[in-house]
Amino acid sequence: MAYIGKTPTKAPLTSSDIANDIINSDHIGDTAISGFSALAESPADTDEFLISDGGTLKRIDASHVGGGLSNWSENSGNLLPSNASYGIYLGVNSATASNLLNDYEFGTFTPSIAPTSGSFSAVGTQNGYYTKIGNLVHYQCELNVTTNGSASANIDVTGLPFTSASTGLVHTVNHGRETAINGSTFVTIMSRNVTALVMLGPPFGNSASYSLNGTYRV
């Protein structure tokens, strides 16, 4: 720029020389981080943030910003894995298979009952509830007999929600109680690799009601 007379002394530009709100996106290069445009989705690894490094303003790629977990998302405040086999290691600070909890569920099932000798003339409602944590299943059953008929000896209960482990104990032993006739208790046993158990020596009679609960390994 040409001047008439003496060229003015150069002086640095100050904030008082710039009118408020005069600098906008039209005057800033596309490569500058300005904040004029909003990001409406999660940042990509190559997206950039501004960060102060000991007082010096620097750019940083989103890929260098920690805190996220791969293969996990949030759903209504709960963590959700991308694969149902993923879980969490408990009680250790390194990946140890025996400490991995990757299965939990609960629900209902409908057991069936039949005597090992004779037959029931009529049975009532059979209800079952279970909770599975890892390789252990806990169950509760309410079993009703309307008319005993010729039933005697033991009672087979089938339709448990998961198959018992094929190795380990020959029999898993739990307990039950008859709650309508005389309140007596009895033992239940469950073999390997089955979805059934046997009530040993329960009391028989019309309107008998049996309450079972137990735990077995799968």
Whether residue 198 is contained in a domain is answered as yes
CA–CA dist 102, 133 (Å, integer): 9
Planar angle of CA 57, 62, 63, nearest 5 degrees: 125
Same domain, 199 and 159: yes
CA–CA gap between residue 49 and residue 51 (Å, rounded): 6
Any bridge partners for residue 50, and if so which? 59
Q: Determine how many CB atoms are found less than 10 A away from the CB of residue 188.
A: 23
Specify whether 114 is located in the same domain as 184: yes
The one-letter amino acid code at 199 reads M
CATH code assigned at 154? 2.60.90.40
Q: Count other C-beta atoms under 10 Å from residue 189's C-beta.
A: 15
Question: Is the pLDDT at 25 greater than 80, yes or no?
Answer: no
pLDDT over 70 (residue 2): no
Question: What is the structure's pLDDT at 30?
Answer: 65
Q: Which domain holds residue 64?
A: 47-101
Task: With respect to residue 89, please indicate whether it lies within any of the assigned structural domains.
Answer: yes
Mean pLDDT of 119-144: 97
Residue 175: closest CA among 196, 155, 151, 200: 200
In a shared domain, residues 110 and 210: yes
Same domain, 171 and 114: yes
Same-domain status, 113 and 209: yes
Same domain, 134 and 95: no
Check: CB of residue 149 under 8 Å from CB of residue 119: yes
Q: Over the chain, what is the mean pLDDT?
A: 89
For the stretch 38-72, pLDDT in tens is 777 878 878 887 788 887 878 888 777 766 678 88
Picking from 59, 78, 101, the residue at the C-terminal end of a domain is 101
* pLDDT on residue 33: 60
The predicted-structure confidence for 83-109, as pLDDT tens digits, reads as follows: 999 999 999 999 999 999 999 999 999
The model's pTM is 0.71
97, part of any domain: yes
pLDDT band for position 31 (cuts 50, 70, 90): low
Q: Is residue 126 located within the same domain as residue 190?
A: yes
- State pLDDT tens for residues 189-205: 999 999 999 999 999 99
Round to whole Å and give the CA distance between 28 and 159: 72
The total number of structural domains that make up the chain: 2
Whether 61 and 150 share a structural domain? no
Termini Cα distance of the chain: 88
pLDDT at residue number 36: 65
Q: Are 210 and 202 in contact (CB under 8 A)?
A: yes
Q: Do 55 and 148 belong together in one domain?
A: no
**Domain end marker among 71, 101, 131:** 101
pLDDT in tens, 141-195: 999 999 999 999 999 999 999 999 999 989 999 999 999 999 999 999 999 999 9
Same domain, 187 and 112: yes
Residue 31 belongs to a domain? no
State the pLDDT at residue 34: 65
Range with the poorest average pLDDT among 67-81, 83-97, 112-126, 204-218: 67-81
Instruction: State whether 202 and 164 are in the same domain.
Output: yes
| Choice between 213 and 65, residue whose per-residue pLDDT is larger | 213
Confidence check: pLDDT of 118 > 80: yes
pLDDT on residue 11: 79
